[in-house]
């Protein structure tokens, strides 16, 4: 049977992630209803699901079981959505629009937004720590450790702290890279690694995948900076031009548009080169690198 073309595979996996999230999140009929409703409001029915797609693609390559990958994909998306909810709050980016709809503190209130982020974060670890989720408990523990590291002060939350502290400052390219490898890259990297850990790859293969993941994590942010500078709010589903308006250092402000585009192409090539030893089994990861470099929103 011939394989699905990338756009069809992506739509299929996005819908698979949606169904898995529908099941994984507490129903809004269960107390506390308003909190559960807000968790579902912000998580379901939106977003590109890039992190779940990476879990699925890496997991397939590693021979992981579908139900395990569904749970790992949900855990990644819960952490990601928590970070978006908190990032949009008045104490951080203060944004009213996310995924084309009002942000949680606008639709509900600030306290609910705070709790929604908190609860989504712990929901991720609740899901990923379910006894027996991975065939090998040691690999499950490694996956938990990987996700905790990626989300915490030595990963995404740390990157966000550096981001907040650098508003209005002139960063070097190295400092900008360090910030983004943590703020955005750490979770993207964890998505690939969790998919891979759910299967049976050896440490050498995991390392090669980790290099791919590091490249696309940074690539994702370079493209995000380009889109923030050139795309409009309706296309992005979030407020465009915020980086310049907030006087934030970005790849575009440091390198300029043309050099940022060259860097994105270089990172995509380097990512794809690290997949060389996997052959056809890495097709979806290969295609995802191309998708990330050419995405329009
Ligand atoms: C609050 C601890 C904490 C961290 C926030 C991820 C983040 C850190 C802030 C989001 C701000 C931002 C715009 C970052 C740039 C890259 C990024 C993560 C964009 C949003 O991710 P997408 O494009 O969003 O995957 P969708 O909605 O498609 O899931």
Question: What is the pTM for the complete model shown?
Answer: 0.95
Residue bearing the CA closest to ligand 1, atom 26: 47
User: Residue 34, class by beta-carbon neighbours within 10 Å (0-12 exposed, 13-18 middle, 19+ buried)?
Assistant: middle
Mean pLDDT of the chain: 95
Is the confidence at residue 62, as pLDDT, over 60? yes
- pLDDT, tens digit, 9 for 90 and up, residues 287-297: 999 999 998 77
Domain count, the chain: 1
3-state SS, residue 147: helix
Range of the domain at 151: 6-293
The answer to whether residue 43 sits within a structural domain is: yes
The answer to whether residue 1 sits within a structural domain is: no
Is the confidence at residue 42, as pLDDT, over 90? yes
CA of 103 to the centre of ligand 1 (A): 13
Give the residue among 234, 210, 212, 217 at the shortest CA–CA distance from 286. 212
Q: How confident is the model at residue 2 (pLDDT cuts 50, 70, 90)?
A: low
The answer to whether residue 107 sits within a structural domain is: yes
- The separation between CA 279 and the C-alpha centre of its own chain, rounded to angstroms, equals 25
CA of 158 to the centre of ligand 1 (A): 14
The answer to whether residue 174 sits within a structural domain is: yes
The answer to whether residue 266 sits within a structural domain is: yes
Would you say the CB of residue 40 lies under 6 angstroms from ligand 1? no
CATH code of the domain containing 267:
1.10.600.10
CA of 82 to the centre of ligand 1 (A): 9
DSSP string, 1-42: -PPPPHHHHHHHHHHHHHHHHHHHSPPTTSSSHHHHHHHHHH
> Distance between CA 284 and CA 108 in Å, rounded?
38
* pLDDT value of position 272: 97
The answer to whether residue 176 sits within a structural domain is: yes
- pLDDT, tens digit, 9 for 90 and up, residues 189-217: 999 999 999 999 999 999 999 999 999 99
Segment 269-287 mean pLDDT: 96
């Amino acid at each position: 049977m011939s394989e699905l073309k990338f756009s069809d595979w992506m739509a299929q996996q996005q819908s698979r992630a949606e169904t898995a999230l529908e099941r994984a999140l507490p129903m809004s009929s269960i107390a506390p209803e308003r909190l559960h409703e807000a968790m579902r409001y912000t998580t379901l029915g939106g977003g590109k699901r890039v992190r779940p797609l990476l879990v699925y693609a890496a997991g397939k390559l590693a021979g992981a079981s579908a139900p395990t990958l569904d749970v790992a994909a949900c855990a990644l998306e819960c952490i990601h959505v928590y970070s978006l909810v908190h990032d949009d709050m008045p104490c951080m980016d203060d944004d009213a629009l996310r995924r084309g709809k009002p942000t949680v503190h606008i639709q509900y209130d600030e306290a609910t937004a705070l709790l929604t982020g908190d609860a989504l974060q712990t929901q991720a670890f609740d899901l990923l720590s379910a006894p027996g989720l991975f065939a090998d408990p040691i690999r499950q523990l490694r996956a938990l450790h990987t996700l905790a590291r990626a989300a915490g002060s030595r990963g995404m939350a740390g990157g966000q702290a550096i981001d907040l502290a650098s508003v209005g400052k002139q960063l070097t390219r190295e400092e900008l890279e360090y910030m983004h490898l943590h703020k955005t890259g750490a979770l993207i990297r964890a998505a690939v690694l969790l998919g891979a850990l759910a299967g049976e790859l050896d440490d050498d293969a995991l390392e090669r995948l980790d290099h791919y993941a590091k490249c696309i994590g940074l690539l994702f942010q370079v493209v995000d900076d380009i889109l923030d500078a050139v795309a409009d709010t309706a296309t992005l589903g979030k407020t465009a031009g915020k980086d310049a308006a907030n006087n934030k250092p970005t790849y575009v402000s440091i390198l300029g548009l043309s050099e940022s585009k060259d860097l994105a192409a270089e990172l995509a090539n380097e990512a794809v080169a690290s997949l060389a030893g996997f052959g056809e089994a890495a097709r979806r990861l290969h295609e995802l690198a191309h998708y990330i470099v050419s995405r329009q929103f």
